[in-house]
Structure 1
Amino acid sequence: MALLWIIFSSIVLSAPGFANAGDRIVEGTVAFASVGRARYAFDVFLLDFRPWELENASLGPHLEFRATDGVSVNYNGALVDDSQRRVIFEALDFRGEQQGDASQGILIYVSERDGAAEVRFNLFYQGQRDRGERSLGNIESGSQESHGNRRDALEIHGDRGNSQNFIDLGKLWSSSEVEPTALYDRPSVADGRVIFVSTRKRREQSRQSWAAVYSMDIVTKKITRLTPEGVTDYSPSVSPSGKFVMVASDDGRGWGGEIEELDTDLYSFQAWDGSGRKLVVKNGGWPSWSDDSTVFFHRRAEDGWWSVYKATFSKSFTAIREERITPPGVHAFTPAASRTGKWIAVATRRAGSLYRHVEVFDLGSRKFHKVSELVAPEAHHYNPFVSPESDKIGYHRCRGKGVTPRLEHIKSPVPGISLVRVDGDFPVFSPDGESIAFIPDLDEGGIYVTRLNGSGLTKVFDKPAFGLSWDKQRKGVLYTSYGPGFVPEDTIVHIVSILNADELIAGGGGEVKWKILTKSGTKNNAFPSPSPDGKWIVFRSGRSGHKNLYIMDAIHGEEASLRRLTEGAWTDTMASWSHDGEWIAFSSDRHNPGGGSFQLYFVRPDGSQLHRVLNSSTGGRVNHPFFSPDSRSLVFTTDYAGVSADPIAVPAQFQPYGEIFMARIDGSELVRLTHNAYEDGTPSWGPVKLDSSALTGEGKKARCGFRDTRWLKPAIA
């Protein structure tokens, strides 16, 4: 075995923090996939709520209207108290005729329309124009039926809006006033300030979340960090008085790799500067104030059911009393408290239901009442919120209309690099950088090719596949793994070459020409990557009973030539051959076989100079490396930044900690490229920088084709 050189045994000790790109010249486009995100099509919806119906133990149909505009995804809304109206209008320089109209309300929410999660405001009409209008339908399939006089827009007119039920007031801050590529989430307004979560400041330790709570003065735009250094805070909630903020916090313990129930406690502190920080509840998340001495929150109970709890306390946050509110037999979580103290809104998952719904729980009768299921029964509804007057309930869900773009521009922290999210998996650039091959749906199979601007779409393979690469010499030749992914070592998976992709793309017609390169009977051959001269392919194989790396003839396959590159009772996988031919990068758990941790290693093509380049600390992951066109840098997915939001608050994510990072090939100058609550993965790096204005927006009709949280089972036996 070649000498093992450990370059970086620990990011914490070896690197001076998460560096910027420095003075190095890095160029091109990085494409990546995010689990499900391209198909969310989230908008924020509001409905008028008639609380007196609780007394009759019956909730009738509600008027639901869309309060955001259907651009990109819009989510995690909150309604602003009328007392904050004037300061917001002044800060946004809004002088519309609705400025003094009491029938107008203000929504604050998160939108990703400009390539990052940013905070925006909308002005919306609070009255009901058509009593009894109601939307029903199969949202998951993208269809909606009308009952009564259905409108998506309630007509209001102003100098910033046309015929719709809201006016877009825009962003509170400009990109020059904040870190423009960071995540900004869970916003709310109190006493002239916006309280929010952000990943705007890096952590010096690996595998720790960058999420912290901040306050921005609406007038001066001054930002104050409310979370102590070295601590992670999620899910801020502002008390009705505006004096206090409560958060779910790790209190500096750090992230332990959990992805279902975060190890957090509830802390309260002063809203204006973060002082007076006190522990209120051990083991809790997603707090929501009812009054300044009562907060609701969720946790997974000992019986396995997610449930909502209530904590009451004195003004000094002593004499704390906890009480379980929702019963076993139904998952209830992400509570939103009414200031009446009589009811809460919660998200639920019930036995026999495929969908996450919003329901009202009556604190007096201890009964649930359906809300969203009466309006859109076949859609997932997320993260309910309640108006300050307790007369409206909001949430976000897939709008079921519009187009899901094939490629989506994402803001990049590195000027020379464009970032693009692909609606699919395993994107990889053609050698000239002008095309991207990808797999739109792993369940359905098939490989497609689109142009760099997202126009055109050609199927070049119709079999189940994963892991793609282009031949760097033979035009139109692609390599892939033919067979199922995420399977044991003894499963039949072959490396194949697709020989006429260029002809198919050119519209020449005919059948796909392809060839199996691995021998019959060999097991779990995957993740092919060709040498720059086009003569060889490095790939992973489980033929020995363990997943190790092999190199074979790229044209004729292993029948012509095969040699083993690595050997051991561990997993070496996801290899990438550098464009200059000098190195092969791969992920491996050889430091702790079977322990679930993957680190990044380099080896020469002749098997010499094997060494570890990046280490994600104990139990961490560094996966899917891909070299830059000049072979001096690489991009990869990792858990260096922990998780950025409570995983239960988003749709299914296998690994919500996955973010895209880049570094030099010696592991230095580590830069975080993506900031979100999704699993980002399978990046590749092309030589041409994409002009985001050139994206055509072409794609599929939005069909809400995503799954809810997989580990949130409808029932527990």
Structure 2
Amino acid sequence: MKSPALFILLLFFYHASADHGGSNAQTTIVFTTLGRSSYAFDIYTLPTSLPPSKAVELQLTDGESVNFNGYFPSSLPPSLVSRLPDPVLSINTSPFHLVYVTERNGSHHVFLDSVYYGGSGNGGKRKRSLLEEESRVSVVNRVQVPLVGVEQTGGRVSMKDKPTLVGESLIYVSTHEDPGVGRASWAAVYSTQLGSGLTRRLTPYSVADFSPAVSPSGVWTAVASYGETGWDGDVEELGTDIYVFLTRDGSNRVKVVEHGGWPAWGDDSTLYFHRRCHDGWWSVFMAVLRENGELGVESVSTQRVTPPGLHAFTPAANKRLLAVATRRPGSDYRHIELFDVDSGRFTELTKPVSPKTHHLNPFFSPDGSWVGYHKCRGTGNGKGNTLLLETVQHQAPEPEFSLFRFDGSFPSFSPDGSRIAYVDFPGVYVVNHDGSGLKKVSEETAFSTAWDPKRKGVVYTSVGPDFASETTAVDIVAINVDDESRSLKKLTVGGKNNAFPSPSPDGKWIVFRSGRSGHKNLYIMDALEGETGGLFRLTEGPWSDTMCNWSPDGEWIAFASDRESPGSGSFELFLIHPNGTGLRKLVQSGTGGRTNHPWFSPDGKHIVFTTDYGGVSAEPISNPHHYQPYGEIFIIRSDGSELQRLTHNSYEDGTPTWGPIYIQPKDIEWPDGGDACSFEDCHWLNISPTSKSSNASIAQCAHLPK
């Protein structure tokens, strides 16, 4: 259906628009991260020598930041010892020295904490051993020392992973260097001299490295790596191989294991790693490296050491004793267990202490007497204050804006910037940007929100299931959020899967996607009366055009499309005039990649969007709650120049929006606290392989030891 009058109006619309948005005013970007607002992680430790019933779980990190991926150094270099105060050095027993990743203000750092405890007994005097019966914590003394972060790297934002001290050097993963290829991971291993700050890249520029592990001697570093073939989009297992190289400079790099991840050294000639077997179970394997002679896949023998029947992954090793994260059939939680390679016996570690909490990524103390890991702080799966808006540091040179992670899906700002509409399945909500005035404005299952720029309090959304076929019943509705009745006005009537409404800057029209032709294309309809007041088809073809956003000056509509490879799931960003002319590509993630959810800046000069252009930043199984390919938040000029990455993490960032006001970069808490640890584990660990496939396929993995 096409109205000639509407077509003529649209033909000149973008030239005649009087509302051209702002100029150089400060603004705000908010985005959603799947599950991240519930990651109240701290690092804990348990002794390996006590029965679980007598073990005391000690919290090592501050209970405030998001703290994870720890490491117990065997000793501290002089440059770090000199930075510790005398009381830490003079106590009558050694404190815990912990190197770990901490996320503060949305940016990752590596910290050293020196932690020691006062006992509840003995008059409050320091116990000589944390293993004594009365060593339950009453006093915690902590010294925090930043090792590598934004301040130490000249303003670079980066994601760090599995940090390790080797003498005066810190070995870690960072994502601050753009390889210049879409969908290629930015993850690389670096070495930073803590005294001088001198940093050396140890990963070749043509590959991506994850999960570095330094051998007990410090001579070798092992990594999970993939090369020039790049990422194939798998979010369960990356298909990495294990390489080793000299820690001092990255030289003598050689592949020693095909198909493996998360390496851990038992000694300088024994590596443990995980892989998902053909029988469907994640298992830990052992690789024995030849001590003398040339290294290579052919010279390294491997064998499976954990049996089928349970998932075991992210190993840590102390000679032939392993600490592994497990998911056993019938359990909803990851737990840390000890596994004796020689006897093949498992010993539960965390389940007797905190049975209904996920425990991730174990690591041993140098003498093997303690195992560390991270989990959500609190009792059970924890309660605590969650944030409505969490500030995220960024280094984009222009334009000037604050960046926040928002605790809700599909956020959008009201025209004056005072309120945010969002979706929390099921239902649509509105909240003031300071966290006050929260109200539910619709009980319907909805996705995508957009405010009318002229009619106060009117919010458009899509009612119906998301990720649905072209024939699914989804409709555009308007909600007056200031009307006590909050009745929905249905705007689409003649088609299926109508979604992602975006109003024109004068408030007269709405662009949206619809599957009414059998394919998802873009249409424009009357904003007040809906499609009965006039309908114009903007795009046409056997592909999916979706996630559209109208520019503030009315000249352009940005949208995501798989038109270059229909049905492949690969989406790029395009621009088109409202009259259907001027189509051009703005961003392409890479082969098979995704660029989605574009949103114009208030002055129309930039577009924020989510994309997997930066590939993967960490092994997926080392994190919980990954349902789709990773996404990071990027901005680009509307002419297609100056692509800039804003977020660096291993989460799924998405549905960004750009607001017209500047919100000071300060965290804003929900007034009622909220559930701090409600995330789920990786969904593929919820499915146990069938016994038939397990029995039939064991031979396809390396043999179990006898």
TM-score bracket relative to the smaller structure: 0.7 to 0.9
Match of 2:492 in 1: 518
Pick from 426, 429, 449 the counterpart of residue 448 of structure 1: 429
Match status 1:186 vs 2:179 = no
**1:127 Cα offset (Å):** 8.8
Secondary structure (helix, strand or coil) at the match of 2:163 reads: strand
Tell whether 2:44 aligns with 1:45: yes
Q: Residues 118 and 138 of structure 2 are in contact (CA less than 8 Å); yes or no, is this contact kept in structure 1?
A: no
Q: AA paired with 2:443?
A: D
The structural deviation recorded for 1:571 is 0.7
1:78 is matched with which residue: 60, 71, 85? 71
Q: Does 1:531 align with 2:504?
A: yes
**2:97 aligned partner:** 106
- What displacement does 1:705 show? 1.2
- 2-side partners of 1:210 and 1:267: how far apart? 18
Q: Is the 8 A contact 1:173 1:221 kept in 2?
A: no
- Maintained 8 Å contact 2:119/2:135: no
Corresponding residue number in structure 2 for 1:473 = 454
Query: Which residue identity is paired with 2:113?
Result: N
Q: Deviations over 1:82-120 (max 9, x none)?
A: x22643232xx2224012444212111111123201111
2:549 match: 576
Deviation at 1:251, TM superposition (A): 3.1
1:425 CA drift (Å): 0.6
- The Cα of 1:61 is off from its aligned counterpart by 4.1
Q: Which amino acid aligns with 2:416?
A: D
> Is the 2:233–2:629 contact (alpha carbons within 8 Å) kept by the matching residues of 1?
no
Q: Deviations over 1:431-468 (max 9, x none)?
A: 122222112x32xx122222333344222222211100
Structure 2 unpaired stretches of 5+: 1-22, 123-132, 691-706
Aligned 8 A contact 2:340 2:346 in 1 = yes
Question: Aligned pair 1:347/2:325, yes or no?
Answer: yes
Give the 3 Å change call, closer, same or farther, for CA 558–581 of structure 1 in structure 2.
same
DSSP-derived class of the 1:98 partner:
helix
Which residue of the partner structure matches residue 411 of structure 1?
A: 393
Alpha-carbon distance change, 698 to 185 in structure 1, aligned in 2, over 3 angstroms: farther
CA distance in 2, matches of 1:289, 1:671: 37
Match of 1:329 among 309, 324, 344: 309
Q: Does structure 2 retain, via aligned residues, the 8 Å contact 1:405–1:698?
A: no
List aligned pairs for 1:145-160, cutoff 5 A: 153-155=137-139
Question: Comparing 100-109 with 562-571, which one deviates more in the overlay?
Answer: 100-109
Residue deviations 1:574-608 (CA, integer Å, cap 9, x gap): 01011110011111111111111111111111111
Name stretches of at least 5 consecutive residues in structure 1 with no aligned partner: 1-23, 132-147, 156-163, 505-509
Identity value in percent: 49
Where do residues 13-162 of structure 1 align in structure 2 (5 Å cutoff)?
27-50=26-49, 59-81=52-74, 83-84=75-76, 86-90=78-82, 93-101=83-91, 102-125=93-116, 153-155=137-139
Identify the residue that residue 3 of structure 2 maps to in structure 1.
none
More moved, 121-130 vs 284-293:
121-130
- 1:136-535, aligned counterparts within 5 Å? 153-155=137-139, 164=140, 166-172=142-148, 175=151, 177-316=153-292, 317=295, 319-338=299-318, 341-399=319-377, 400-414=382-396, 416-439=400-423, 441-442=424-425, 445-499=426-480, 501=481, 503=482, 510-519=484-493, 522-535=495-508
Amino acid at match of 2:505: P
- Say which is worse superposed, 25-34 or 562-571, in terms of deviation: 25-34
Cα 1:203–1:128 change in 2 (3 A) is farther
Rate the CA distance shift 1:172–1:542 in 2: closer, same or farther, 3 A: closer
Letter in 2 for 1:404: T
CA distance in 2: counterparts of 1:99 and 1:87, whole angstroms: 14
Distance in 1, matches of 2:533 and 2:24, equals: 40
| Alpha-carbon distance change, 80 to 174 in structure 1, aligned in 2, over 3 angstroms | same
* CA–CA separation in structure 2 for the residues paired with 1:390 and 1:610: 62
Relative to 1, partners in 2 of residues 1:583 and 1:486: Cα closer, same or farther, differing over 3 Å?
A: same
Report Cα offsets for 1:31-61 as digits up to 9, x if no partner: 10011011111111111121xx7xxxx7544
Check the 8 A contact 2:187/2:617 in 1, yes or no.
yes
Q: Secondary structure at the match of 1:336?
A: strand
Give the distance between the partners of 2:602 and 2:98, measured in 1 at CA: 44
For 2:628, the aligned partner's letter is Q
Q: Distance in 2 between matches of 1:129 and 1:243?
A: 42
Q: Which amino acid aligns with 2:36?
A: R
Q: 1:686 to 1:618 in 2, by over 3 A?
A: same
Moved more, 650-659 or 477-486: 650-659
CA contact (8 A) 1:61 1:375 kept: no
1:359–1:372 Cα contact (<8 Å) kept: yes
Moved more, 172-181 or 374-383: 172-181
**Which residue pairs with 2:14 in the alignment?**
none
The answer as to whether partners of 1:455 and 1:696 remain within 8 angstroms in 2 is no
Give the letter aligned to residue 116 of structure 1. Answer: S
For 2:404 and 2:206, how far apart are their aligned partners in 1?
31
Shift of 1:196: 0.3
Distance 1:430 1:395, change over 3 A: same
RMSD (Å) for aligned C-alpha atoms: 2.2
Displacement of 1:669: 0.6
Give the TM-score normalised by structure 1: 0.87
Change (3 A) 1:303 1:666: same
The answer to whether the aligner puts 1:615 opposite 2:591 as a matched pair is no
1:671 CA displacement: 0.4
CA distance in 1, matches of 2:676, 2:321: 34
Q: What letter matches 1:322 in structure 2?
A: T
Q: Distance in 1 between matches of 2:375 and 2:342?
A: 29
Shift of 1:252: 3.3
Separation in 1, partners of 2:138, 2:231: 45
Tell me if structure 2 keeps the 8 A contact 1:349–1:714: no
The aligned length equals 647
Amino acid at match of 1:448: Y
State how far apart, in whole Å, the 1-side matches of 2:148 and 2:117 are: 22
- The 8 Å contact of residues 84 and 190 in structure 1, kept in 2 or not, is answered as no
Aligned pairs (5 A) from 1:595-614: 595-614=568-587
Instruction: Give, in angstroms, the shift of residue 187 of structure 1.
Output: 0.9
Residue-by-residue CA offset, 1:676-715 (whole Å, 9 max, x unaligned) = 0011100111121221137456463234111100122341
Aligned partner of 1:685 in structure 2 is 658
**8 A Cα contact 2:624 2:680, kept in partner:** yes
Cα distance change of structure 1 residues 574 and 293 upon mapping to structure 2, 3 Å threshold: same
| Amino acid across the alignment from 2:605 | R
Given the superposition, is the C-alpha separation of residues 694 and 227 from structure 1 closer, same or farther in structure 2, using an over 3 Å criterion?
closer
**CA spacing shift, 1:699–1:180, aligned 2, 3 Å:** farther
Residue 712 of structure 1 aligns to a residue in which SS?
A: helix
**Aligned equivalents of 1:606, 1:558: Cα separation in 2:** 17
CA distance in 2, matches of 1:128, 1:46: 16
Query: Residues of 1 paired with 2:212 and 2:119: CA distance?
Result: 31
Residues 525, 593 of structure 1: alpha-carbon distance in 2 compared, 3 angstrom cutoff: same
Q: Residues 52 and 352 of structure 2 are in contact (CA less than 8 Å); yes or no, is this contact kept in structure 1?
A: no
Look up the match of 2:127. Answer: none
